[in-house]
Amino acid sequence: MTRSALNRITAGPPEPGHRISFRGAGPTETYPLEELYDLAGRLALHLRRLGLRSGDRIGVLARNSLEWVLLDLAALRLGVMTAGFESGKFTAGRPLLDRYGLALLFSDEESPDTGVLPLAEARRMAFDDIRGDLPAHTYGPDDETTLKFTSGSTGSPKGLAATAGSIDSSLRAVQDMFAHGPGDDLFVFLPLSLLQQRYWVYSALAFGHDVTISTYGAALPALRRTRPTVVMGVPAFYELARRHIEARVTDVAEEERPRALGETARRLFGGRVRYLWTGSAPADPATLRFFHSCGLPVYEGYGMNETCIVTKNHPGATREGSVGRVVAGKTVLLDEHGNISVRADFPVNRRYSYADPGVSERVFAPDATVRTGDVGHLDADGFLFITGRADDVIALGNGRNVALRPIEDRLRQSPEIAECLVFSPGGGELVAVVSPVSGDTDEGAVTAHLRRTNALAARHERVSRAVLATEPFSVANGLLSSQYKPLRQRIRAAFADELADPARGLAV
């Protein structure tokens, strides 16, 4: 039987010749993967001296760094579960240790509480010349390796323990599609608190390629220096990159514009990209076409915390508008209304570890099938199309049902608009909340775009007014998730007064 990817990582050092780099605001750090393995082993020995044993739990609340990766790998080596906490959403301290049963919490935030260690302590332990025997920990498919959290638009985030089998199944499905290997450098900049971002470190160790870790803020300037072959990004990042590219190609004759855009895009991304990866939120079809025309193919996929990757477009199997074909190990089930459920050979889990009463039962069926809450259809060739969320279909006072996502997608097609969500506060009209690209948005341009969009829409799909946010939605102001998805319920609550008052906003 083929050894699982995680067990391959814990069994011994990786093949030489590959590296991991960290590019942020400071100097770049680069380590051969075999040295990374050795450093993680030293850290694991120190953690064992501190009393940690298989089945214990540690937390990491910090920005992307070498220390984050080392703590995660050291925990894997020991059979210790890692809980990744998103900076800005959680606060380091005793309440976090108690709520999630942590033996230790490492953080780049200061805390006087016992059990909270500075992130720098992990580095000190990893670079200490400690020696000792560290038996390889072996994972079974149902063993839980990490605690991950949903974005959570309201209340406390739901906590979900991921199984080794679900991680390994996802890694192998991706490897079968994209064949990452020597010569590849995968560029990762979303928070490592998201388990799927740590997959690419596991992939490097298991399958033999380079990986570069950065941050969202440093990603664009780091791309050219890194010269990656693969970039792991969310749709919002590619929209930002597209605006960045187009802003640099203005004084060019129309017939030369496609060539100039392509050259500028390839230069920005470092000139070695073989493909771009996106998921986590609906991608703008125009942005996908833009990058394809620049010679930088973007492959969109679909998945969620509760399922891992479910579908993916990839070379030789891609269809515009779809999120790809179902990957090996997953089955997509559709009911008569198009509601999507997902069954896995190796489920992420069968319930949440932390959630309000009744939530697990609503999401997980007894056989671990996940009710996603998304609506869509499969075409004759097996490509999945997501048409919206089940709760994004609203009933107006006149009895008409309206699917919000297609309206929002159309309204978002303006260089002035970064995000746009539609609500029906009184059941009789549709009101858009618009996140501007910048703080000096041209209100007239926004209004004109919405009117043009209305002119092409059915009467019951027309927006009557728009509320323009004074600042763009962001992770910092709590209106975007860590994967840069707009949080509908938080946005509705933040603009409740404007939505409820017919006299406020831009008349459309």
**What's residue 151's pLDDT?**
61
| Whether 412 contacts 235, CB under 8 Å | no
Count of positions (residues) in the chain: 508
**What's residue 155's pLDDT?**
55
Whole-angstrom distance, CA of residue 468 vs CA of residue 432: 8
Whether residue 421 has pLDDT greater than 70? yes
Q: Average pLDDT in the 317-337 region?
A: 95
Whole-angstrom distance, CA of residue 240 vs CA of residue 220: 9
Q: Average pLDDT in the 280-299 region?
A: 92
The neighbouring-strand residues paired with 22 are: 29, 213
Question: Longest C-alpha distance within the chain, in Å?
Answer: 74
Give the chain's mean pLDDT: 92
pLDDT band at 153 (very low <50, low <70, confident <90, very high): very low
The neighbouring-strand residues paired with 375 are: 339, 388
Whether residue 294 has pLDDT greater than 70? yes
**What's residue 180's pLDDT?**
97
Whole-angstrom distance, CA of residue 91 vs CA of residue 109: 8
**What's residue 244's pLDDT?**
93
pLDDT band at 186 (very low <50, low <70, confident <90, very high): very high
**Cβ contacts of residue 356 below 8 Å, gap of 6+?**
155
Closest CA to 61 of 147, 153, 168, 188: 147
Closest CA to 270 of 210, 315, 190, 199: 210
Whether residue 196 has pLDDT greater than 90? yes
**What's residue 396's pLDDT?**
75
Q: Average pLDDT in the 82-96 region?
A: 92
**What's residue 468's pLDDT?**
92
Give pLDDT tens digits for 234-246: 998 999 999 999 9
| Whether 381 contacts 319, CB under 8 Å | yes
Question: Which tokens in the block code for residue 362?
Answer: 């609503």
Give pLDDT tens digits for 212-229: 999 999 999 999 999 999
Whole-angstrom distance, CA of residue 146 vs CA of residue 160: 8
pLDDT band at 399 (very low <50, low <70, confident <90, very high): low
**What's residue 2's pLDDT?**
59
Pairing assessment for the beta strands 144-149 and 81-85 based on DSSP bridges: parallel
Pairing assessment for the beta strands 370-378 and 384-389 based on DSSP bridges: antiparallel
Give pLDDT tens digits for 428-475: 789 999 998 877 788 888 899 999 999 988 888 899 999 999 888 988
Whether residue 1 has pLDDT greater than 50? no
Whole-angstrom distance, CA of residue 391 vs CA of residue 150: 18
**Cβ contacts of residue 221 below 8 Å, gap of 6+?**
none
Whole-angstrom distance, CA of residue 216 vs CA of residue 462: 35
Whole-angstrom distance, CA of residue 414 vs CA of residue 408: 11
Among 19-28, 72-81, 278-287, the range of highest mean pLDDT: 72-81
pLDDT band at 403 (very low <50, low <70, confident <90, very high): confident
